[in-house]
């Protein structure tokens, strides 16, 4: 068993002057990399329009509340929304939105404009409110009470009429 353990090898210390320097990797010339956030590519703009069509025409919280658009109308509205939002964001962009931070700010404006215009479009198309919406107050509606509240109210009325007046 003692024969299986290898004997420690003596370590040779090499001075830094004696060690050869590591080989230098060859220099590869890379073209300068420029990250451009704004304006979005046509492919990105088309994807935004496609997503808008889907949001306007398929079941969602938005379409359940305001109604869904037919696909052909949703396509037309989506194109208008995206073009108007792109124009608004472009107008707010600096003459040269060269930095990434400036590009991100313009993308945020673009996104907010799309959301705002989409909501305006669905609200404009929504039917006139025949029923009250969740945020509105009905003036002529009586207060709702439960059966327990009605019974308690009747008992209190009966107790008042039975008690002698002082």
| CATH number, span 48-125 | 1.10.246.200
Q: Which residues contact 118 (CB under 8 A, 6 or more apart)?
A: 52, 55, 56, 62, 81
- The length of the chain is 166
Which pLDDT tens digit goes with each residue over 13-57?
Answer: 655 566 666 777 677 666 666 778 899 999 999 999 999 999 999
Segments making up each domain of the chain, as ranges: 48-125
Q: Is the dihedral of CA 130, 135, 141, 145 positive or negative?
A: positive
The pTM assigned to this predicted structure is 0.57
> Is 80 a residue whose pLDDT tops 90?
yes
């Amino acid at each position: 068993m003692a024969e299986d353990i290898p004997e420690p090898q003596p370590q040779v210390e090499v001075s830094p002057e004696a060690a050869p320097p590591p080989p230098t990797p060859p220099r590869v010339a890379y073209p300068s990399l420029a990250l451009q956030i704004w304006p979005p590519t046509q492919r990105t703009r088309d994807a935004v329009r496609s997503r808008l069509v889907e949001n306007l025409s398929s079941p969602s919280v938005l379409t359940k509340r305001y109604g869904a658009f037919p696909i052909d109308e949703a396509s037309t509205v989506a194109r208008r929304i995206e073009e108007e939002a792109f124009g608004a964001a472009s107008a707010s962009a600096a003459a040269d939105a060269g930095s990434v931070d400036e590009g991100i700010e313009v993308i945020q404006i673009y996104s907010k404009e799309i959301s705002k215009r989409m909501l305006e479009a669905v609200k404009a198309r929504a039917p006139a409110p025949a029923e009250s919406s969740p945020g509105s107050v009905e003036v002529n509606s009586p207060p709702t009470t439960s059966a327990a509240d009605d019974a308690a109210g009747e008992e209190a009325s009966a107790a008042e009429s039975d008690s002698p007046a002082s």
